[in-house]
C-alpha cells in the first residue's frame, strides 16, 4: 500500500503552441487509423483497379447513375452495377483554391462534373492536364487510373480527350 501526498506526474520539456489566448486556441496533433468498410460500394473501388468505372442502373425504371447507388432515387427499386464509358464531357467545373487537409498542398486544382452518354447523373472527379482557362463546358475528357491503386476515389481522374 502506498499513500504519498507528494506524488507528482512526470514533467518533460515539451510545450504547447498557442495561437491565441482569448479564446485559448492551441495546436493539438490528432491522428487516427480508421477501419472503414466500403460495404455495398466495394465493387466500385475494386473496379478502379481494373480501370473500370462502375455506376448503377435501376432494375425497374432504367435510370442510370454515374455513382454507386444501391437503390434508385427515382422509384426506390434496387439497382444493378452498370459499367460506365471511360469518355465523357465536362458538364461543369470549378477551380479549388482551398480544400480539405488531404488536398490542401495540391491547390489550386480543377474539379469537374463528368457527363457520360446514356447516363442520367454526373460523376465528380479531378481534371488534370488542362489550365483552368482552357477548360470549358462540353470539353471532351477521358478517365485515367493511378497505376498504384489506393482504393480511393482519387484512383480515377480525367484528362482532356484529344482523340476526338
Ligand atoms: Zn428506378
Reported as a single tens digit per residue, the pLDDT across 93-135 is 999 999 988 889 999 999 999 999 999 999 999 999 999 999 9
Reported as a single tens digit per residue, the pLDDT across 13-54 is 989 999 999 999 999 988 999 999 999 999 999 999 999 999
* Ligand 1 centre distance from Cα of residue 123 (Å): 18
* Ligand 1 centre distance from Cα of residue 119 (Å): 13
Residues 6+ apart with CB under 8 A from 88: 114, 115, 116, 117, 123, 140, 141, 142, 143, 158
Amino acid 26: pLDDT: 96
Q: Which three cell numbers stand for residue 157?
A: 481522374
Encode 120-159 in three state secondary structure.
Answer: CCCEEEEECCCCHHHCCCCCEEEEEECCCCCCCHHHEEEE
Residues 6+ apart with CB under 8 A from 122: 66, 91, 113, 114, 115
Average pLDDT for 142-157? 94
* Ligand 1 centre distance from Cα of residue 22 (Å): 54
* Ligand 1 centre distance from Cα of residue 78 (Å): 8
Q: Are the CB atoms for 44 and 57 separated by under 8 Å?
A: no
* Ligand 1 centre distance from Cα of residue 59 (Å): 7
Q: Which residue has the cell 482551398?
A: 98
* Ligand 1 centre distance from Cα of residue 101 (Å): 37
* Ligand 1 centre distance from Cα of residue 71 (Å): 8
CA dist 163 and 141 (Å) reads: 10
| pTM confidence score | 0.80
Q: What confidence tier does 163 reach under pLDDT thresholds 50, 70, 90? A: confident
* Ligand 1 centre distance from Cα of residue 156 (Å): 27
Domain ranges of the chain: 39-160
Amino acid at each position: 500500500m502506498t499513500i504519498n501526498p507528494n506524488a507528482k506526474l512526470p514533467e518533460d520539456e515539451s510545450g504547447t503552441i498557442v495561437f491565441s489566448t482569448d479564446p485559448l486556441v492551441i495546436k493539438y496533433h490528432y491522428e487516427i487509423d480508421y477501419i472503414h468498410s466500403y460495404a455495398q460500394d466495394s465493387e466500385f473501388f475494386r473496379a478502379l483497379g481494373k480501370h473500370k468505372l462502375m455506376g448503377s442502373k435501376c432494375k425497374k425504371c432504367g435510370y442510370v447513375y454515374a455513382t454507386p447507388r444501391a437503390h434508385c432515387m427515382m422509384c426506390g427499386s434496387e439497382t444493378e452495377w452498370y459499367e460506365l464509358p471511360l469518355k465523357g464531357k465536362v458538364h461543369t467545373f470549378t477551380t479549388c483554391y482551398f480544400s480539405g487537409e488531404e488536398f490542401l498542398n495540391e491547390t489550386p486544382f480543377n474539379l469537374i462534373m463528368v457527363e457520360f452518354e446514356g447516363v442520367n447523373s454526373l460523376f465528380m472527379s479531378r481534371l488534370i492536364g488542362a489550365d483552368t482557362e482552357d477548360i470549358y463546358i462540353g470539353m471532351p475528357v477521358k478517365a485515367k487510373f493511378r497505376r498504384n491503386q489506393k482504393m480511393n476515389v482519387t484512383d480515377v481522374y480525367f484528362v482532356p480527350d484529344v482523340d476526338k
